[in-house]
Amino acid sequence: MSDLGKSQEAFDSYLRVIEINPTYSNVYTAITRLLKDSDPSHLNKSKLKQILNILLERNDLPHKELFNAFNFLYSKKIISNLEKFDSNFSAIELLSNDRIIIHALKKILFCDVKLERVLTKARENICHHIAKDIETINFSKLQFIIALGEQCFFNEYIYSFTKEENISINIIINKCKDGGLNETNISILSCYFPLYKLLDQIPALKSFNSTNQNFTELIKLQILEPLKEIELSKNIKKLGSINDNVSQKVKSQYEANPYPRWRYGNHSESQKISIVQGINNEIKPNYIISNSGNDQLKILLAGCGTGNQILHTQSYKNAQVTAIDLSLSSLSYAQKKINELGINNVELIQMDILEVNLLKKKFDIILCSGVLHHMDDPSKGLKTLLRILKNNGFLKLGLYSELARQVIVKARNYISSKELKTNEDNIRNFRQKIISGELSELKSFQSIGDFYSLSEFRDLCFHAQEHRFTMNKLQKTLKSNELEFLGFLLPKPVQSLYKQYFPEDKKQTSLQNWAKFEVKHPTTFTGMYQFWVSKKEN
């Protein structure tokens, strides 16, 4: 769809579907995916604005995927207005009166260094103005501050701040304690801390009322929902114990920074597919044939994190999902989200993968993406999972590529050489060294989405444990465990390029060929090796 020349055609087709039947929800997911994979400069600008407005109004989409389109249309406007901010405080009103910009701040993670710089500077200026009572904050300016508070909550306060800002923040906190609790003071504080963490210092926050709908949404996001997660955590089922030393470290990381934070997504119930169809969609041009019938499908999500992967399981027919994770914070977040979405075929359990035998059942499908490479011994974790996978069952894995992660290895080596402890200040300071150009060899991080969220950047560079795989090691692992490789999950342009090199490998399942391909194109698996395997019948 996103091939050159076809993007506009596909885009226009989706717009026609929306005109004919605006209630057909699947088209909005499809157009979001198209915008993620397309070059926005190839699309009609006015139609792009029109559809962006529609998509940002909806709460059933992964809005993060709209960033490229939004950035293409609006980054210059945001940057030019905020650069005038020092001399003209009302410049933010020109932004707050643009509905798309405000919606985007609330729903899209901004992954651009230039935008980060101007938003960080704007936050600093607003904070000083409010602390010193220099400026009256009217309704329009307040809308921008609230939206910025939601963006900062979304990126988990990854923007750096100065000692002077700390002084201003403390002045504002003291004002709030001394009867100066108002929407303006609360909103600027929300740009620096999640508000629920200020409840001990400012107990009146919990009972503060407002008629401003945007402000009420901010309170819900930053106070009511986190408190709900804490409450939900009390009823999450626990099995076994987490004794492994590395498992304890990883658990501690994700308790502090549940990963990934997500707000909205799609779990369309309208078009359920069989697991075979689902796997075939992902391993094309290969395909499988299975006689699984219409029996209930038992799925294990091994390392479910905050539950975003649960949405993908909802497309399968007759599925019953067990989702496990080490982190109670992550599971509580997942529980909150599945409650919101009305998902009722999922059981969440806090446990270690090493103890999955305690589940006392076997599974048709196991999904384990981005988990085994964070264990002390990935092969032990894999063998443990295979013991509870049915014969002829299917396993989806995500593992780090040695070749694709060379820049991350450089970052991890730097962190290790400087003995940087993992805390939020060190994470922010390390990022600033990259942004400023002091660590020019790591500049390419600025093009990685994970760079722009605290939990994702911590996961990327400061993780307690990381193993990486070569294609050769991957092949040996599969062979020793009697697993059949079914195919990588890759975009069409990569598959087309592979076909040019190896036209004889029609199913694209030769790991020897992929090893040669990866040497020529070392960034192919920058995310991970994501692939399906099947367990051969004994």
Q: How many CB atoms lie within 10 A of CB 517?
A: 20
User: Any bridge partners for residue 433, and if so which?
Assistant: none
Task: Give residue 457's pLDDT.
Answer: 97
- Domain 245-403+468-535: give its CATH architecture: 3-Layer(aba) Sandwich (3.40)
Laid out side by side, the sheet with 483-488 consists of: 237-238, 346-350, 319-325, 297-302, 363-369, 389-399, 529-535, 483-488
Mean pLDDT score of the chain: 93
The DSSP letter of residue 273 is B
CA distances from 369 to 301, 305, 532 (A): 9, 10, 11
- What does the pLDDT look like over 406-448, one tens digit per residue? 999 999 999 999 999 999 999 999 999 999 999 999 999 999 9
Residues 159 and 454: their CA atoms lie apart, in Å, by: 9
Half-sphere exposure (Cβ direction) of 135: Cα atoms closer than 13 Å: 20
Kindly tell me if the per-residue pLDDT of 199 is higher than 90. yes
Would you place residue 265 in the very low, low, confident or very high pLDDT band (cuts 50, 70, 90)?
confident
Kindly tell me if the per-residue pLDDT of 2 is higher than 50. no
- What does the pLDDT look like over 84-104, one tens digit per residue? 877 677 788 889 999 999 999
Rounded to two decimals, what is the model's pTM?
0.94
Residues 52 and 91: their CA atoms lie apart, in Å, by: 23
Residue ranges of domains in the chain: 7-61, 69-230, 245-403+468-535, 406-461
Q: Specify the DSSP element, H or E, that contains 55.
A: helix 45-57
Task: Give residue 90's pLDDT.
Answer: 78
Residues 143 and 165: their CA atoms lie apart, in Å, by: 21
| Beta strand segments in 179-287, E | 237-238
- What does the pLDDT look like over 440-491, one tens digit per residue? 999 999 999 999 999 999 999 999 999 999 999 999 999 999 999 999 999 9
Residues belonging to the chain = 538
